[in-house]
Homo-oligomer: A and B are copies of this chain.
Amino acid sequence: MSKNLTKRAEDYSKWYNELVVKADLAENSAVRGCMVIKPYGYAIWEKMQAALDKMFKETGHENAYFPLFVPKSLFEAEEKNAEGFAKECAVVTHYRLQNDPDNEGKLRVDPEAKLEEELVVRPTSEAIIWNTYKGWIQSYRDLPLLINQWANVVRWEMRTRLFLRTAEFLWQEGHTAHATKAEAVAEAKQMQDVYATFAESFMAMPVIKGVKSDSERFAGAEDTYTIEALMQDGKALQAGTSHFLGQNFAKAFDVKYTSKEGKQEHVWATSWGVSTRLIGGLIMTHSDDKGLVLPPKLAPIQVVIVPIYKNKEQLDAITIKANLITDALRSKGVSVKYDQRDTFRPGAKFAEYELKGVPVRIALGSRDLENNTLEVARRDTFKKETIAMDDVISYVEKLLKNIQENLFDKAIQYRKEHTTEVNDFKEFKKALKNKGGFISAYWDGTEETENRIKEYTKATIRCIPNNAENTPGVCVLTGKPSAKRVLFAKAY
């Protein structure tokens, strides 16, 4: 268990990889760069999906499903988007296998079954969706069109890491069409807000809302709105993006509507997505050297009850009480597991649930039954308290809220301590080297300067924060004038 887990201070990256596997979240598969999401990891994804899906529907979106494959001729229609993804596309070229005549019992691709047009496995779905929208949009009455899709996508990345960067991943992608530019911009910003609310309220992961610089923008977008989180190793994680696509796709796929005034106009578009990458962010925001730490709102198991007993008689008495507590907590919407396996000792169970990040652990022994008490331990601080049995429900409810808040506060505090305002490039490099994190600095707005800073330091512009003050200064590298500070960091 956690005894074998590498310490974060020793090797953060190794700690992460080990933790994902040991906590039964995911593992590498036989397919290069593709992961298997194990039941415990998938249960976190299901909780994320449920919360996000509700927020999407509350903001007027409906779900739909579009094909996995994009014919090459559609894929290349929006040139910038195509260029941005061309290098990482898995391509289907054939539709049949046959017995290999040279190799008994083996199959080979049937050379006769070559597709006339190759199919790209979607790396993102703008092309196939906008080709479809062409048939759905005629009049201003058809707008806005507010659609989301839950799907798998494939980007053939060369260097992959479980959850953070995998060749196939699960995500949602919203694709909306609007009559005016203002509406589309408002939609893109609204979804950035939705993502920020989700990250902070559910994941307890504070994020900076901002806009991307030209070089970090989504291929085919006019503006990319992002939420950026800070991991415990001082590196930033782009956690979600929402794109204002202008009329680029509407023009590439000739999607027009007739306005109230009877004029033909191209529509305005957005797209926005978050993925299973969020699980990587969740892990790296809160977890520790003992294992996962999960915020209660996304924990598949919020409370585990472990019986402490010497014989079957004791266990039976404890079980009666444990079942009562379980039922009472469940009736309050708390997810509870009562672990009465006789193949593991309590100490081993404690270590297992620490590793798996269960927020609250209740230990229930024979002496507790006599005293009408139980011991409650919280995962985030390891604090234990013995409380009266009768108080357990309200105590646990309060504790879960408290853990959720504490995790967010800790993460905010960490970010505060790891955000540095610098005014020259020496300070920039020093801050980045000494503690990492976000570096708030003036930048002259050119891609050249951005690239040079990246070259010297490996830090990139994470975003121009929405709330950046309009106080002019001079660029940290070139000394040229700059309108406002931007946020730099090394990033995942």
In the complex, are the beta carbons of B65 and A37 less than 8 A apart? yes
In the complex, are the beta carbons of B76 and A90 less than 8 A apart? no
Complex CA–CA separation, A148 to B179 (angstroms) = 42
In the complex, are the beta carbons of B66 and A39 less than 8 A apart? no
Does any Cβ of B come within 8 Å of A126's Cβ?
no
Does any Cβ of B come within 8 Å of A322's Cβ?
no
Does any Cβ of B come within 8 Å of A86's Cβ?
yes
Q: How far is the CB of A458 from chain B (nearest CB, A)?
A: 26
Does any Cβ of B come within 8 Å of A120's Cβ?
yes
Give 1 or 0 for each of A290-303: 1 = CB within 8 Å of chain B CB. 00000000000000
Q: How far is the CB of A292 from chain B (nearest CB, A)?
A: 17
In the complex, are the beta carbons of B96 and A88 less than 8 A apart? yes
Does any Cβ of B come within 8 Å of A131's Cβ?
yes
In the complex, are the beta carbons of A68 and B154 less than 8 A apart? yes
CB neighbours of A30 from chain B (8 A): 67, 71, 74, 128, 131-132
- Among A36, A72, A97, the one with the most B-chain Cβ atoms within 10 Å of its Cβ is A97
Q: Whose C-beta in chain B lies nearest to the C-beta of A35?
A: B67
Interface residues of A in 194-253 (CB under 8 A from B): none
- Among A71, A87, A89, the one with the most B-chain Cβ atoms within 10 Å of its Cβ is A89
Does any Cβ of B come within 8 Å of A320's Cβ?
no
Q: How far is the CB of A248 from chain B (nearest CB, A)?
A: 15
In the complex, are the beta carbons of A92 and B121 less than 8 A apart? yes
Interface of A is mostly: mixed
Cβ contact of A42, chosen from B37, B63, B152, cutoff 8 A: B63
Interface residues of A in 71-129 (CB under 8 A from B): 71-72, 74-76, 79, 82, 86-99, 105-107, 109, 118-121, 128
In the complex, are the beta carbons of B67 and A38 less than 8 A apart? no
Copy total for this chain:
2
Cβ contact of A118, chosen from B76, B99, B109, B132, cutoff 8 A: B109
Knowing A92-B90, A92-B91, the reply to whether A97 touches B69 (Cβ < 8 A) is no
Complex CA–CA separation, A66 to B147 (angstroms) = 26
Q: Whose C-beta in chain B lies nearest to the C-beta of A136?
A: B38
Interface residues of A in 6-31 (CB under 8 A from B): 27, 29-31
In the complex, are the beta carbons of A92 and B92 less than 8 A apart? yes
Knowing A91-B97, A97-B89, the reply to whether A43 touches B63 (Cβ < 8 A) is yes
In the complex, are the beta carbons of A86 and B98 less than 8 A apart? yes
Q: How far is the CB of A247 from chain B (nearest CB, A)?
A: 19
Q: How far is the CB of A258 from chain B (nearest CB, A)?
A: 14
Give 1 or 0 for each of A460-481: 1 = CB within 8 Å of chain B CB. 0000000000000000000000
CB neighbours of A90 from chain B (8 A): 69, 92, 94-95, 119
Q: What range describes how many residues of A lie at the interface?
A: 35 or more
Interface residues of A in 243-295 (CB under 8 A from B): none
Q: How far is the CB of A256 from chain B (nearest CB, A)?
A: 18
In the complex, are the beta carbons of A65 and B31 less than 8 A apart? no
In the complex, are the beta carbons of A29 and B97 less than 8 A apart? no
Complex CA–CA separation, A225 to B463 (angstroms) = 56
Does any Cβ of B come within 8 Å of A46's Cβ?
yes
Knowing A36-B132, A97-B72, the reply to whether A31 touches B67 (Cβ < 8 A) is yes
Give 1 or 0 for each of A26-62: 1 = CB within 8 Å of chain B CB. 0101110011111100110110000000000000001
Does any Cβ of B come within 8 Å of A430's Cβ?
no
In the complex, are the beta carbons of B89 and A96 less than 8 A apart? yes
Does any Cβ of B come within 8 Å of A70's Cβ?
yes
Does any Cβ of B come within 8 Å of A168's Cβ?
yes
In the complex, are the beta carbons of B95 and A88 less than 8 A apart? yes
Does any Cβ of B come within 8 Å of A446's Cβ?
no
Cβ contact of A76, chosen from B92, B106, B170, cutoff 8 A: B106
Knowing A30-B74, A31-B70, the reply to whether A79 touches B105 (Cβ < 8 A) is yes
In the complex, are the beta carbons of B76 and A107 less than 8 A apart? yes
CB neighbours of A45 from chain B (8 A): 65
Complex CA–CA separation, A62 to B90 (angstroms) = 30
Complex CA–CA separation, A433 to B105 (angstroms) = 43
User: With contacts A29-B132, A72-B97 known, what are 14 further pairs, Cβ within 8 A?
Assistant: A30-B132, A36-B65, A38-B64, A68-B68, A68-B154, A72-B107, A76-B105, A76-B106, A86-B96, A89-B95, A90-B94, A91-B93, A91-B109, A93-B94
Q: What 7 A-B pairs come out closest when comparing CB atoms?
A: A39-B62, A34-B67, A37-B65, A86-B97, A95-B156, A91-B94, A31-B67
Q: What would 18 A/B residue contacts be, using CB atoms closer than 8 Å?
A: A30-B71, A31-B69, A31-B71, A34-B68, A34-B69, A36-B67, A39-B62, A43-B62, A45-B65, A68-B68, A75-B97, A76-B107, A89-B96, A89-B97, A92-B93, A95-B156, A96-B156, A97-B120
